[in-house]
């Protein structure tokens, strides 16, 4: 068994930085035996571990997180639990079954999260009023036409909005056209991840700061740790793009690094300048456009950079450089708030596949994997995690069938071609972005 990278870089930035300090869970050392090991305590791993615990109340399940809970990618996204995906490019009637399949998975993930948040009373700024999909420039206006055609053909509830209507709601005149889709939830992602981790079944044991260095499969699976090992009957990999570090999905997935900034908490007058809504979330209809949020606690959050960075977080110096781009975009959107400073900056990594597919299913006789959500991991990762646990238990359902129907991933060439191709692929997202950035 060859060891792989044991470097799982982190920093204290991101949504977890806005939360109170949390006592870190124990790390796992020594030799242990468990029925199931779930690797990764993000949305997929938490959902998988919870369902495994429910299905197997008499068995011991280990959930291993390389970092602190809430400081991985699941706690660094923009906090959109999507129910309705946007598919860039012209609407294709022949693709309606595929659109429906993906949206069924999204909707199931949203429903699972809703049930868990409400049942466990998780404080995570849950706001289920959907999102605004907006267009400011030529390329995104074209996507607006595609998107509204898709929504109408799919009979998805929505409301089209002009520039004045958007300005009244969002406090900016940047967007010329938009659509409000009322299905979907905004969350504080790090708070949600922490809340889910704190409410696992009693037979699920969470270990933090416990990176997995490698797996050796056979009749049982040996999970190699920095300070020990676990012998498991079954292993569930929920590490998204970092599955490559333990020998899975090589040539099929890569990490794109995104960066964003938070303002300080706005004053009452500043908040009043942002339209009539208490909180809102904007998704640009251009794939390279800015994601912008007004949070429940009164911060503006803006993310508008994405690049190939070797699947790593940004350094402090790199974040300061990206924040110049955030600042220009912020002041152009909200000239009334030019004196409002940014208080925090953060970066995070999303897993993307060449043809934007997902990964699900059995990898070896007793090793299962789910991942690769291309920016939709809050709801979709939750659904995939639950489905993976049920699939391993021999279950049959529409959700499992939908997850299994994910298309095979396109091949990504190795380095150095990987670096060239990945940079080109990620950079192409910004082609024609204009005022939407």
DSSP string, 6-33: ------S-SGGGGS---PPPPPP-EEEE
Give yes or no for a contact between 210 and 28, defined as CB atoms under 8 angstroms apart: yes
Report d(CA 25, CA 234) in Å as an integer: 23
Looking at residue 362, its pLDDT comes to: 98
What CA–CA distances, in Å, run from 252 to 87, 359, 408, 410? 21, 9, 9, 6
Q: What is the DSSP letter of 411?
A: P
Give yes or no for a contact between 363 and 91, defined as CB atoms under 8 angstroms apart: no
Nearest Cα neighbor of 323 from 293, 351, 343 is 343
Nearest Cα neighbor of 142 from 86, 99, 97, 81 is 86
Q: What is the CATH superfamily name and number for domain 131-182+256-352+427-436? A: D-Amino Acid Oxidase, subunit A, domain 2 (3.30.9.10)
Report d(CA 181, CA 169) in Å as an integer: 14
Q: What is the DSSP letter of 114?
A: H
Q: How far apart are the first and last CA of the chain?
A: 45
Give yes or no for a contact between 260 and 346, defined as CB atoms under 8 angstroms apart: yes
- 381, HSE (Cβ side, Cα atoms, 13 Å): 32
Looking at residue 23, its pLDDT comes to: 87
Report d(CA 242, CA 348) in Å as an integer: 13
What CA–CA distances, in Å, run from 337 to 71, 163, 278, 300, 341? 29, 19, 17, 10, 9
Burial label for 235, CB within 10 Å (0-12, 13-18, 19+), is buried
Q: What is the pLDDT along the chain (437 residues), one digit of tens a residue?
A: 333 334 687 898 999 999 999 888 899 999 999 999 999 999 999 999 999 999 999 999 999 999 999 999 999 999 999 999 999 999 999 999 999 999 999 999 999 999 999 999 999 999 999 999 999 999 999 999 999 999 999 999 999 999 999 999 999 999 999 999 999 999 999 999 999 999 999 999 999 999 999 999 999 999 999 999 999 999 999 999 999 999 999 999 989 999 999 999 999 999 999 999 999 999 999 999 999 999 999 999 999 999 998 889 999 999 999 999 999 999 999 999 999 999 999 999 999 998 889 999 999 999 999 999 998 999 999 999 999 999 999 999 999 999 999 999 988 887 777 777 777 777 777 888 999 99
Q: Which helix (H) or strand (E) holds 116?
A: helix 96-120
Q: β-pairing, 204-207 with 61-64? A: parallel
- 257, HSE (Cβ side, Cα atoms, 13 Å): 17
Taking only Cα atoms into account, the Rg of the chain, rounded to an integer number of angstroms, comes to 21
The domain limits of the chain are 15-75+191-253+355-406, 131-182+256-352+427-436
Report d(CA 57, CA 406) in Å as an integer: 30
Looking at residue 2, its pLDDT comes to: 33
Q: What is the DSSP letter of 256?
A: E
Report d(CA 322, CA 200) in Å as an integer: 37
The answer regarding whether domain 15-75+191-253+355-406 maps to CATH 3.90.105.10 reads no
Give yes or no for a contact between 231 and 32, defined as CB atoms under 8 angstroms apart: yes
* Phi and psi angles of residue 33, each rounded to the nearest 5 degrees, phi first: -125, 135
Report d(CA 153, CA 149) in Å as an integer: 6
């Amino acid at each position: 068994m060859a060891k792989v990278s044991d470097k799982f870089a982190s920093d204290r930035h991101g949504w977890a930085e806005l939360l109170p300090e949390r006592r870190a869970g124990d790390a796992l050392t020594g030799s242990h035996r468990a029925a199931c090991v779930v690797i990764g305590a993000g949305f997929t791993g938490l959902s998988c571990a919870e369902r495994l615990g429910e299905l197997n109340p008499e068995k011991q399940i280990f959930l291993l997180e390389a970092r602190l809970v809430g400081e991985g990618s699941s706690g660094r996204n923009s906090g959109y639990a999507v129910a309705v995906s946007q598919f860039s490019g012209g609407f294709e009637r022949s693709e309606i079954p595929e659109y429906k399949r993906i949206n069924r998975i999204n909707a199931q993930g949203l429903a699972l999260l809703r049930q868990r948040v409400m049942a466990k009373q998780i404080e995570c700024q849950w706001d289920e009023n959907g999102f605004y999909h907006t267009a400011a420039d030529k390329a995104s206006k074209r996507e607006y036409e595609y998107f509204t055609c898709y929504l109408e053909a799919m009979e998805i509830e929505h409301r089209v909005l002009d520039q004045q209507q958007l300005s009244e709601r969002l406090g900016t005149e940047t967007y010329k056209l938009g659509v409000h889709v009322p299905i979907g939830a905004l969350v504080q992602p790090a708070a949600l991840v922490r809340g889910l981790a704190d409410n696992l079944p009693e037979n699920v044991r969470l270990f933090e700061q416990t990176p997995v260095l490698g797996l050796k499969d056979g009749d049982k699976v040996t999970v190699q740790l920095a300070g020990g090992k676990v012998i498991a009957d079954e292993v569930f990999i929920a590490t998204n793009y970092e599955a490559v570090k333990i020998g899975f999905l090589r040539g099929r997935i890569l990490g794109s690094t995104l960066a964003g900034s938070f303002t300080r908490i706005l004053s009452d007058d500043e908040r009043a300048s942002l339209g009539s809504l208490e909180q809102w979330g904007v998704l640009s209809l251009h794939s390279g456009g800015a994601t912008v949020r007004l949070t429940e606690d009164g911060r503006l959050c803006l993310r508008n950079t994405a690049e190939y960075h070797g699947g790593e977080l940004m350094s402090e110096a790199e974040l300061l450089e990206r924040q110049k781009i955030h600042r220009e975009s912020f002041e152009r959107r909200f000239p009334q708030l030019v004196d409002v400073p940014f208080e925090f900056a953060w970066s995070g990594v999303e897993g993307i596949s060449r043809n934007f597919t997902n990964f699900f299913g059995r990898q070896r006789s007793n090793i299962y994997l789910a991942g690769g959500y291309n920016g939709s991991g809050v709801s979709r990762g939750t659904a995939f995690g639950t489905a993976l646990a049920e699939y391993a238990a021999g279950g049959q359902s529409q959700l499992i069938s939908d997850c299994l129907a994910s298309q095979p991933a396109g091949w990504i060439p190795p380095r150095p071609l990987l670096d060239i191709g990945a940079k080109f692929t990620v950079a192409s997202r910004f082609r024609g972005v204009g005022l939407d950035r």
